[in-house]
Amino acid sequence: MMMKHPLLIKTMLERSRKLFPKKEIFSRCFEKDHRLTYGDMHKRVCRLANVLQSLGAQRGDKIGTFAWNNHRHLELYFAVTCSDMVLHTLNLRLFPEHLIHVINHAADKIIFVDEDLIPLLERVSDQLTTVEKYVILTDKEELPPTRLSPALHYEKLLADAPETFEFPDDVDENSPAGMCYTTATTGLPKGVLYTQRSIYLHSLVQALPDIHCLAEQDVLMPVVPMFHVMAWGLPFSAAWLGTKLVMPGRVLTPDALCKLMEQEKVTISAGVPTIWMSILQHLEAGNKYDLSALRHVAIGGSAASANMIKLLGKFGINVFHAYGMTETSPVVLASRLKSYMKEWGEDRQYALRAKQGLLLPGLDMKIVNNEGNEVAWDGKEMGELCVRGPWIAGAYFDEPERSKENFRDGWLYTNDMVTIDEEGFVLIQDRAKDLIKSGGEWISSVDLENVIMIHPAVAEAAVIAIPDPKWQERPMACVVLKAAEKDKVTEADILAFLEGKVAKWWLPDKVMFIDEIPKTSVGKFNKKALRERFG
Ligand code: ADP
């Protein structure tokens, strides 16, 4: 019989301290660059744990963070979770009423806030019912003037605290360690609690060669925000392995990111398609950087098309596609070709790489049709993706009624409509509510968008359903043209381009040219806003 040993985040912190104390963490904060090591980080994490105690935080308390990807946020990731408290990462882009809801609903006790984000919290601070203190993350000697009260200075608190701390050993691996709310495309955001155990397992498994393929020798730049789904758990994976981290801070322009990748010789990065789309356009416009160190980038959060994967490849950016959601820690699927697929034709390979891919080891999945039966593995029959496993939520935090909608018979029903092919590659066809039902048949808005975005004049396209008296619903395309192509392309041009590339009955009834596709707080196409405008 093996030891009954709890799976705790403390183990990864200890490993990085003991084995990789010299390895570097680069962090850009408010345009200032910081370099520290995992050894330095450990000392600061211990100081921070002492600070948390002296501020009155107790085991089980929720500690909010309102911050960019930087070293202080990283220190909070470890000090809070290893102290058996719950790190509640607050999404900077939530509407004020949603922000108020999530802070009060979680009952955050202390909020740590980046200096430049203070105004966003000040707007709502009057309505926060549980927050007792604010700690300001700043490089400045003195605190900026603020209405947040009481407001404390992070660096001063750390400077006055001892640099050793005994993190508790008697933590239950199933106790909550992290917390994130969904971005709520309907209703108020719903909270998901990650446990010590779920973070431990997810961060190890996703480092495997057929997923992020992360190693000590890598230089990892998570562009995906630490304020949403824990930056896909990548900071934890890096600590396990002693991987150098590059934290890009708040300036996420293509130029800033490319320069940083060049300067720090980044080998792996991760982000949503909008980030990589803007980098692609920047490179296509003739801007040059040495990105030769880059091994691959993970794209997820919404679909990366085959065309985008191909075009990024031309600039040496090798994409792998991953899928997940807030409820799943997040990674569930990753699209890596099997060895024998490397012999297949190029188009077939790109088509596979654009799928969301294979289920991660350790998870279970089923894909069920309307009758509740599992669909055939034929790449054609569509059904809803359901998952279960050690890093999949079992319910929303303190929402018994709303939990019943998504969590049934031990499964998470994702609301994502998918197909699965003979090889087990899953393709997300659409979110259930974005599918277009035309005359009893389904049209995938994602597929249609991906074909429209191949048009060389198109910067972005989102497809939504509009009501139709005869067919029930018909597709309408909202298209953003590249700046140099404005007014040069017509609706007829787009439709002519689509002809032959999609079934005739898929052709949009209307093509609307707009200046920008509205985005959600995490940079996804906000189809709800488009439906409200045009639907
Ligand atoms: P929200 O908070 O809006 O639920 P999440 O970040 O949890 O935001 O988003 C999860 C959803 O994003 C999934 O259910 C799926 O619809 C979509 N998604 C995530 N990754 C991909 C991907 N690689 N391709 C297509 N859709 C994706």
The two structure tokens encoding residue 280: 């692609």
Q: What pLDDT, on the 0 to 100 scale, is given for residue 524?
A: 86
Return the minimum-mean-pLDDT range out of 196-200, 403-407, 490-494, 529-533: 529-533
Is 437 a residue of the active site?
A: yes
pLDDT tens-digit map of 499-526: 999 989 999 999 999 999 999 888 889 9
Confidence band, pLDDT 50/70/90 cuts, at residue 186: low
Q: Whose CA is nearest to atom 4 of ligand 1?
A: 182
pLDDT tens-digit map of 30-45: 879 999 999 999 999 9
**How many A from CA of 212 to the centre of ligand 1?**
18
Q: Is 300 in the pocket of ligand 1 (CB under 6 A)?
A: yes
* CA gap 263, 35 in Å, rounded: 13
Instruction: Give me the mean pLDDT over the 354-378 stretch.
Output: 97
State how beta strands 472-481 and 458-468 pair.
Answer: antiparallel
Q: What pLDDT, on the 0 to 100 scale, is given for residue 528?
A: 87
* CA gap 59, 83 in Å, rounded: 7
* CA gap 472, 437 in Å, rounded: 7
Computed over its alpha carbons, how large is the radius of gyration of the chain?
23
pLDDT over 90, % of the chain: 90
Ligand 1 atom nearest the C-alpha of 520 is 3
Q: What pLDDT, on the 0 to 100 scale, is given for residue 252?
A: 95
Ligand 1 atom nearest the C-alpha of 322 is 23
Closest CA to 524 of 326, 392, 378, 241: 326
**How many A from CA of 139 to the centre of ligand 1?**
35
CATH class assigned to 436-534: alpha beta
**How many A from CA of 414 to the centre of ligand 1?**
9
Is 327 a residue of the active site?
A: yes
Q: What pLDDT, on the 0 to 100 scale, is given for residue 185?
A: 65
Q: Is 393 in the pocket of ligand 1 (CB under 6 A)?
A: no
* CA gap 284, 291 in Å, rounded: 14
CATH architecture of 10-185: 3-Layer(aba) Sandwich (3.40)
Quickly list DSSP for 151-184.
EEEHHHHHHTS-S-----S---TTSEEEEEE---
Closest CA to 358 of 425, 274, 276, 265: 425
Q: Whose CA is nearest to atom 13 of ligand 1?
A: 325
Quickly list DSSP for 57-90.
--TT-EEEEE--BSHHHHHHHHHHHHTT-EEEEP
Q: Tell me the residue length of the chain.
A: 535
The pLDDT mean for the chain works out to 96
Q: Is 239 in the pocket of ligand 1 (CB under 6 A)?
A: no
Q: What pLDDT, on the 0 to 100 scale, is given for residue 142?
A: 95
Q: Whose CA is nearest to atom 10 of ligand 1?
A: 325
Distances (CA, A) of 388 to 95, 230, 340, 411: 31, 20, 29, 5
User: Taking the mean position of all CA atoms in its chain, how far away is CA 410?
Assistant: 25
Confidence band, pLDDT 50/70/90 cuts, at residue 66: very high
Amino acid at 511: V
Q: Is 77 exposed, middle or buried (0-12, 13-18, 19+ CB in 10 A)?
A: buried
Q: Whose CA is nearest to atom 16 of ligand 1?
A: 431
Q: What pLDDT, on the 0 to 100 scale, is given for residue 184?
A: 67
Q: Is 332 in the pocket of ligand 1 (CB under 6 A)?
A: no
**How many A from CA of 509 to the centre of ligand 1?**
27
| Torsion angle in degrees (nearest 10) through CA of 439, 443, 445, 448 | -120
Q: What pLDDT, on the 0 to 100 scale, is given for residue 171?
A: 98
Q: What pLDDT, on the 0 to 100 scale, is given for residue 503?
A: 87
pTM, two decimals, is 0.92
Is 182 a residue of the active site?
A: yes
Closest CA to 272 of 248, 298, 291, 311: 298
Could you identify the residue written with the tokens 């009423």? 97
The two structure tokens encoding residue 347: 């188009």
**How many A from CA of 386 to the centre of ligand 1?**
14
**How many A from CA of 290 to the centre of ligand 1?**
31
Confidence band, pLDDT 50/70/90 cuts, at residue 440: confident
pLDDT tens-digit map of 140-182: 999 999 999 999 999 999 999 999 999 999 999 999 999 999 9
Q: What pLDDT, on the 0 to 100 scale, is given for residue 31?
A: 77
Whether cis (ω within 30° of 0) applies to the bond prior to 330 is: yes
Of these residues, 75, 327, 384, 460, which one is catalytic? 327
Q: Is 522 in the pocket of ligand 1 (CB under 6 A)?
A: yes
**How many A from CA of 170 to the centre of ligand 1?**
35
Q: What pLDDT, on the 0 to 100 scale, is given for residue 520?
A: 85
Best residue for ligand 1 mutational test, from 194, 228, 302, 446 (most atoms within 8 Å of Cβ): 302
* CA gap 53, 33 in Å, rounded: 29
Sequence ranges of the domains in the chain: 10-185, 251-434, 436-534
Amino acid at 453: M
pLDDT tens-digit map of 261-304: 999 999 999 999 999 999 999 999 999 999 999 999 999 999 99
Of these residues, 65, 81, 182, 243, which one is catalytic? 182
pLDDT tens-digit map of 307-365: 999 999 999 999 999 999 999 999 999 999 999 999 999 999 999 999 999 999 999 99
Whether cis (ω within 30° of 0) applies to the bond prior to 150 is: yes
Q: Is 323 in the pocket of ligand 1 (CB under 6 A)?
A: yes
| Torsion angle in degrees (nearest 10) through CA of 406, 411, 412, 418 | -110
pLDDT tens-digit map of 207-245: 999 999 999 999 999 999 999 999 999 999 999 999 999
Distances (CA, A) of 444 to 49, 70, 449, 465, 474: 49, 38, 9, 10, 11
Asked if 10-185 and 436-534 have one fold, the answer is no
Number of H helices, E strands in the chain: 16, 26
* CA gap 44, 39 in Å, rounded: 9
Q: Is 416 in the pocket of ligand 1 (CB under 6 A)?
A: yes
User: How many other CB atoms sit within 10 Å of the CB of residue 246?
Assistant: 26
Closest CA to 502 of 511, 514, 490, 494: 494
Q: Is 356 in the pocket of ligand 1 (CB under 6 A)?
A: yes
User: Bridge partners of 319?
Assistant: 297
Q: What pLDDT, on the 0 to 100 scale, is given for residue 535?
A: 72
**How many A from CA of 141 to the centre of ligand 1?**
41
pLDDT at 109 over 70: yes
pLDDT at 122 over 90: yes
CB 274 within 8 A of CB 523: yes
Q: Is 91 in the pocket of ligand 1 (CB under 6 A)?
A: no
Of these residues, 156, 366, 437, 528, which one is catalytic? 437
Closest CA to 13 of 246, 241, 330: 241
* CA gap 113, 135 in Å, rounded: 6
Q: Packing angle between helix 9-19 and helix 71-82, nearest 10 degrees?
A: 120
| CA-CA-CA-CA torsion sign (312, 314, 315, 317) | positive
Q: Whose CA is nearest to atom 6 of ligand 1?
A: 325
Q: Which of 1.10.150.20, 3.40.50.12780, 3.30.565.10, 2.40.50.140 would CATH assign to domain 251-434?
A: 3.40.50.12780
Q: Is 321 in the pocket of ligand 1 (CB under 6 A)?
A: yes
Q: Whose CA is nearest to atom 9 of ligand 1?
A: 325
Provide φ and ψ at 218, rounded to 5°: -80, 165
